Structure formats: structure tokens, C-alpha cells
Structure 1
Amino acid sequence: MGEKDIAQKILEAHNDVFSDIVNVLLFKGKKVLSADELEDQSSNTFYKADGKLHELERDVAKRWKKGNIRVACVGLENQTKADVDMPLRVMGYDGAEYRAQLLADNDSKSRYPVVTLVLYYGYNGHWDKPLSLKERLDIPPEFDAFVNDYRINLFEIAYLTREQVEMFQSDFRIVADYFVQMQENGDYVPDARQIRHVQETLQLLSVMTKDNRFEEAYNDAVEGGPQNMCEVLDRVENKGRLEGRLEGRLEGRLEGRLEGEIKGKRETAINLHNMGMDNDFIAKAVNVSIDLVKQWLMPESA
């Protein structure tokens, strides 16, 4: 399992975040799913092919229950890059859940729908790969009418409207706001909204942006971590300035050391020349090129 998937699972596995994502993206902010009506669903399913047992693993999956009755199974799949085979993957995840229902019992009344949301976090361009099974398959014209289609529910997080972003009530609003701003402006201006799941939110941003300072802003805190993105960016910027000063000092020391080594080699080359050694011998002795030795021995360089 990749680091990206692990980070996203940690945040989205919280019921308040999961239900918030589904309510906004599927139901325009209407509170259809309640956090306390969700139960964790194993993200691992298995199928047999070529005589071997293979594993399918969703990013996050939960069952929605009303009392003791399961109403639906909802899965989230996170993508940072457009995947040409996403329709096939989603079809496999959903099919495995339907298969599990068949194996559970023979009571047809217990069947419930499976819905998968694909969350795309790319902000340098829209999803440009197939959105349905038929778009991915090379179907002979004679078979087209008989091939069932299967379309994915794709949501481009960075291209949500401002109204959609403001519908989120959980920490996912902070995540969505970050990607929308980066897509629109190439920059991010935080607000003072409190973060409930601080570490998980910053870990997700850290992995998705490949900027470890987001997570380090929490981990390096001596007396508690930051509570909002304003505090996070303050720590990120302070850490950047500190790293810049340390890098400058290190570069200064290295430059001074190199200058000292070059000066020493030049003095040695001049001494060897005064002793009557030829340029080839001098170049090998001080481990520099003959051209540099000649430059050092020119009258104006003395």
C-alpha cells in the first residue's frame, strides 16, 4: 500500500469526514448520511483467477445502516493521476461487494446497492481518461448493443465550485479549499477555521503536495500542534527560513573550505615549479589539470 493511500485512508476513514464527502458530492450538502449510521467495511476482498487467490483493496469503504438494516455500501477511491483503467477497477470493487452479498445468505431482501466515488486531486488539468467501461473497451460494432456499460462517479476536487467547498462541514473543506485555490491561483491563502483531525489533515496535505513541512509543522510542535491552517503556514514559513539560514551557513563553510584547498594546491604547484619539476608532474602531484597549473604559473598570477 502506497504512502498516499495510507494518508488518505486515515483522514477519510473518520465517519464525520466520510459522511460529509458523500453528502456534499452526491446530495448537494443535504445530510442524507449520518456519521453514526456508518459502519466500517473491510477494504479487502478476494477473487480466484488462474487457480490463485487475488486481493482487491479499496481505499475506504463503509456501509450505511438504518437500525439493523444495511441500506448501501459506499466506497471512496483517491486518485492524483488520471487512470485509463479506472472504470475496470471500480467495476471490480463494486462487483466484489455484490459477490459478498451473494455469498452471505440467500435472502434476496438483504441486497443493497454499491456506490463508488472517485476523488481526483489533480489540479494541473482535468481528468482526461475514460469515464466508462465502453470508452475503455475496443468493442466490435456487432457487439456494441449487447455490452453493458459501467460509468464511474468522478469528482475533480480541485475544480469544485466555491459554493460546493463551503458546503463541507468537516476537515475535508480545508483539503478541498487548498486544491481549489491552487488550481485557480497557483497559491494558497488559509483561513482561521479550526481543524478537528489536525494530524490526519496535515499528513494528507503533506503527502499530496510532497511538502513534508505540513506534517512536520504538527510533529515538531513542543506544546501541541497548530489548530488551523494559518498557524500551519506560519510554522512552515518559519521552518523554511530556518532551513534557508542553515543551508546558507553550510554553503559558506563549504565554499571557504574549497577556497582553502585550492589556495594550498596553488602554493604547492608553485613550490614544485621552483624546484624544477615539469608541469605534467605538478598536475599529477596536486591532482589538477595541466591547464590550471599553467594558469597558476603565469607571471601575472604570481
Structure 2
Amino acid sequence: MKKQRIPEVSWNAKDGEIYERLSDNEVFADLFNGVVFQGEEIIKPEYLEEMNEKKQLKIPGRDGQPVVIKKLRDVQKACGLDGSLLGIMLAAEGQRTVHYGMPVRHMLYDAVDYTKQMLDLEKKHRRDRDLSSGAEFLSGMRREDRLRPVITLALFYGEDQLWDGPMCLHDMLELPKALEPWKTYIPNYPLNLVYSGNVCPENFRTGLREVFELLRVVAKDKDSMEAFLRENQERYRNLDWKKGELIGDFLDVPLIKDNADAIRTEEGGMNMCTAFQQMRREGEVEGKRMGEEKLSSLMQFLFHDNRIEDLQKASLDAGYREVLYKEYGLDHEELPD
């Protein structure tokens, strides 16, 4: 009989909790420093400024009628660089499940940000009456005007860490073979995807390091998780409290979120090994309960259909039960070992 995997842990992070954690300047800066700048502290938490306002733009459409575009970023901040007040715009979009239109979605987000900057400049120049040429009047911008760059990261924190979606706009296009030699004329838009498989956890200084480490391990199997915790027990048995809370939200660890004091160490940290051991025990109990409910349903079906011989055989033969589970449409449930 094929062995079914027990649902050991529920990794269903709540989006609101994730966004709240990412809104923390220290975590937000660490995300960009660890991903974009390979661990170098380019983004300073103290220079970050919240920019997560809802954007609503009214732009002229092709038919002359105005088109309203509304977009709200998950988390967006501005940061001064090289002594400037607002040198760069940074945005993080959390994604728990694969989104097959993500490159277009991010392209639109960024386009809205750049368009908003242009409209703000135009409004300022119209007010100041400092446009001096026909080209400047046409564009609403002066020749020396420059826009702040925008960097958008897609943070994928799904349980299986398997992204099978597009990585750029070209991946989404059905390109005729006749156009292949000239596809460079079709603008592309890359997706800055961030997940445990393409980052170096050592580049991060906050609990994001442990989050990426654990997401990478849990995407494999329970044995990998146990081996990882054994190898790193010195660090995980007394993990910094703030790092533990970050793990609790990203990986939805019930003990950390509901009763973290139960795993508080004498040094004031968290014993993450204990937290994950309890999650596994709770998962095993839940798996056993699901299996018992499934078996009970099967027996009721057999008794109702007066299949006494099958009822007796199913109670003794686990392999035969599998056949009957499929017959009665119960094979989608997971069984205990």
C-alpha cells in the first residue's frame, strides 16, 4: 500500500500578519539588503518613510475618455540614498500562492508609481509656471527632471516553495515563430521573485534568515526538518525573541503566536525545537483523527449498501480499504501510518 504523508504542520501564514511584519522598517530594510544588495547594508531602517497610500490615477484613454487606475501596494516605502531625502522607492508584494500573471501585475504597479511621479511633477511645474519650451509644455516636465527609481520584490512564502509561474513578461506571451528573431523589440518585464530557493539566508540579519532556512527545509520532508534542527539546535534552542515572533507569523506556528511564553528560555529567547516538535505531534493527532473519520465513513457506506463481506475484509486488510476508499470517493483524504 502506498504510504500517505501525515499533515504534520499547517504553514498557512495570514497575509495581514505578514504585511504587518514587513512594514517594520528593520525587517523591510533587511529584505532588500539581503536580496538586492547581497547582505550589504545599503538601505538604512532609520531613513525609510512609509508610502503605502492608495494610488488612484486618472489618465486619458485612447478614445479620449479618462481611465481611472487604482492600485494599493502591500508594503511600500521611500528611502534616502547618498544624502538625498527620497532617493528610491521600494515595494514588497507578499505572495502565498503562485500567481500566473505576476509579471504584468508588477509591471502595472511600477507603471502607476512612475506615472504618479510624472503627474506630481507636472502639477508642480504648472503651479510654478516654470516650463519654458514647447516640449516642456507638452510633457509637463522639464528636460532635467528625473524620476525616483522603483524596485519591487515579490516575496513568495508558500508552503511548498515551488514557483511554476512566469518569471518575466516574455514567459507569458504566445510568440509566433516568425517573430522569434525580433522579440527584442517586444519589451520584456522581469519579475523580482524572492523565495527560499534563490536567496542566501546568511545575507539577512533579522529573523528573515531563519524564515528562509525553515521554508527551504520544510519544502522537502519531515526528516529534513528534524535533521536541520538537530544540526542547528544550539541556535534554535535559544533564538532571539523578535526572530521567533517573525517565524511564528511567516510559518504560522501556533505555539509561538498563542502561547510563546511556554517556550521562553532562561536567557529570554525562544526554544524553536520545542515549538516544532509540538507542531509535529499535533499534526500526527490530526492525521490520525482524519484517518479514523475516513474509516468510519467507509464502514457506514458498506453497512448501508449491505456489503457485509467487504465490511469484514476492510476491517482487516488496509490494502483492500484503499480500493474501497477510491470506490466511495474517499481517497483524497490522508491516512495515518
Contiguous gaps of at least 5 residues in structure 1: 207-213, 249-287, 293-302
Q: Secondary structure at the match of 1:73?
A: strand
How many residues are treated as equivalent by the alignment?
Answer: 246
Letter in 2 for 1:234: T
Question: 1:45 — aligned with what?
Answer: 55
Which of 232, 245, 249 lines up with 1:203 in the alignment? 249
Q: Distance in 1 between matches of 2:242 and 2:92?
A: 21
Matches within 5 A, 1:87-102: 87-102=103-118
Whether the 8 Å contact between 1:70 and 1:110 is mirrored in structure 2 is no
Gap change, CA 1:166 and 1:242, over 3 Å in 2 = closer
Q: Distance in 2 between matches of 1:125 and 1:201?
A: 16
Q: Between the two structures, name the one with larger relative contact order (CA 8 Å, sep ≥ 6).
A: 2
Which of 38, 45, 61 lines up with 2:76 in the alignment? 61
Q: Distance in 1 between matches of 2:157 and 2:209?
A: 13
Question: 2:274 — aligned with what?
Answer: 234
Letter in 2 for 1:65: G
Whether the 8 Å contact between 1:43 and 1:59 is mirrored in structure 2 is no
**1:125 to partner: Cα distance:** 6.0
Q: Secondary structure at the match of 1:69?
A: coil
Contiguous gaps of at least 5 residues in structure 2: 1-11, 126-143, 289-303, 309-337
Q: Distance in 2 between matches of 1:31 and 1:13?
A: 18
Which of 31, 36, 42 lines up with 1:21 in the alignment? 31
Q: Secondary structure at the match of 1:157?
A: coil
Q: Distance in 2 between matches of 1:243 and 1:236?
A: 10
Whether the 8 Å contact between 2:13 and 2:249 is mirrored in structure 1 is no
**Is 2:190 aligned against 1:151?**
yes
Letter in 1 for 2:173: L
Q: Distance in 1 between matches of 2:33 and 2:67?
A: 39
Gap change, CA 1:149 and 1:244, over 3 Å in 2 = closer
**Aligned-residue RMSD, C-alpha:** 3.9
Which of 78, 97, 104 lines up with 1:81 in the alignment? 97
TM-score, normalising length: structure 2 = 0.60
Whether the 8 Å contact between 2:207 and 2:246 is mirrored in structure 1 is no
Gap change, CA 1:120 and 1:14, over 3 Å in 2 = same
Structure holding more helix per residue = 1
Q: Distance in 2 between matches of 1:93 and 1:246?
A: 41
Larger Rg: 1 or 2?
1
Whether the 8 Å contact between 2:52 and 2:74 is mirrored in structure 1 is no
**Is 2:71 aligned against 1:71?**
no
**1:52 to partner: Cα distance:** 7.3
Whether the 8 Å contact between 2:57 and 2:69 is mirrored in structure 1 is yes
Q: Distance in 2 between matches of 1:17 and 1:62?
A: 12
Q: Secondary structure at the match of 1:196?
A: helix
Q: Distance in 2 between matches of 1:77 and 1:41?
A: 14
